[in-house]
Amino acid sequence: MKLALIGTGKIIADALVALQPVRTIERQAIFARPHSRAKGVALAAQYGIAAVYTDYAALLAQADIDTVYIGLVNSAHFSYGKQALEAGKNVIMEKPFTGTLAEAQELVALAREKNLYIFEAITVLHTPVFQKMREGLPRLGRVRMLLGNYSQYSSRYNAYLEGEVSHAFDAVYLGGALRDINVYNIHYAAALFGLPRAVHYYPNRGFNGIDTSGTLVMEYDGFSAVCTGAKDSDSPCYLSIQGEQGWMRIDGKPNVAPNLTLSCAREGVDGVTRDAAGAVVRGTETETFVPETGEHRMTQEFRDFARIADTGDRAEADRLAAETLAVMQIIEDALQEA
């Protein structure tokens, strides 16, 4: 894969760190808006990238690339992604994918029409913890609840309280807690359980109407997924799934997924014990999985995208695209319902 990085913000700097050990991706170019050209030049010098462009059309026409990674403000995703596909380039798009479901469907359809690939850069689907979750899910028996909380006090929230509205807290730029942070919880639910039958969103709104935090309730057959995301307050972060035969839990931020604990009831245990509250206590077997550390949380997703595009794994690309469209449907339904 020959890659151009579109943008010069923090996510691009993170991506450049994550890409360093990925031998299947060549970093060929950086796009910077004219007023950010100096940042683009500095990043290119630091990471040995040959070309810096301030004209996006020129980059698409001239750079020696087959793929762009778009790390711009959320509201620019659709237009930049569409231009790249029309120019015959694959696209890796930062989350949230687009502003609307219709835009997402248009991009996915355009990529298929042109025999190109478009991916959402959502780290949670590319971690060893998520793979362990998929493997362990049947052991939980009938699922009864998914609970997720991703809350972190935004570095821009103090300024927001003083009336300064950054892109992260501006609906015009597709900001807000649901799209920016709760989206990770939603991806777990959509990837493991598909589309819910109903969606309800309960936002806490700031002075300009943006959701600075909120709780999303997704109704599935037999259980609910309750997902909280906050940019205005802190809390220990986690994601847990509980079933009639056990539970699994990530302790930590869901987008990092630092561990997974799986606890299942043991079969054939004689006798019944009760705790201090009088509840039945079953014998359990508990396993804890901690993945090897050392790589950046974004590294594996880039490896996966390069493998899919380089080997022509259309089935896997379509599976990921379907999951992205499900998440876009959930977000759109939530915002409309709220």
pTM: 0.93
Tokens describing residue 200: 């309800």
CB 6 within 8 A of CB 73: no
Residue 271, pLDDT > 60, answer no
154 vs 165: CA distance, rounded Å? 12
* pLDDT tens-digit series, residues 82-139: 999 999 999 999 999 999 999 999 999 999 999 999 999 999 999 999 999 999 999 9
Look at the domain 128-296 and name its fold.
Answer: Dihydrodipicolinate Reductase; domain 2 (3.30.360)
Residue with tokens 């959402």: 120
Give the mean pLDDT of 267-282.
67
Angle at Cα 220 formed by Cα 218 and Cα 221, nearest 5°?
A: 160
252: left (phi over 0), alpha (psi -120 to 50) or beta: left
112 vs 46: CA distance, rounded Å? 35
* pLDDT tens-digit series, residues 283-301: 789 999 999 878 899 999 9
Q: Treating both helix axes as pointing N-terminal to C-terminal, what angle do 299-311 and 10-19 enclose, rounded to 10 degrees?
A: 70
Residue 308, pLDDT > 80, answer yes
All structural domains of the chain with their residue ranges? 2-122, 128-296
pLDDT at position 110 is 98
Name the H helices within the chain: 10-19, 37-47, 56-62, 77-86, 101-113, 128-136, 157-161, 177, 183-193, 299-311, 314-337
CATH 3.40.50.720, domain 2-122, yes or no: yes
84 vs 133: CA distance, rounded Å? 34
What percentage of the chain has pLDDT greater than the value 90? 92
* pLDDT tens-digit series, residues 173-221: 999 999 999 999 999 999 999 999 999 999 999 999 999 999 999 999 9
* pLDDT tens-digit series, residues 21-65: 999 999 999 999 999 999 999 999 999 999 999 999 999 999 999
pLDDT at position 146 is 98
Residue 266, pLDDT > 90, answer no
3-state secondary structure 43-58: HHHHHCCCEEECCHHH
Residues ≥6 apart with Cβ < 8 Å to 253: 150, 152, 237
Nearest 10 degrees: CA dihedral of 251, 230, 255, 94? Answer: 180
Residue 263 phi, psi dihedral angles, 5° rounding: -130, 125
Residue with tokens 């949670």: 124
What sign does the CA torsion over 126, 128, 132, 135 have?
A: positive
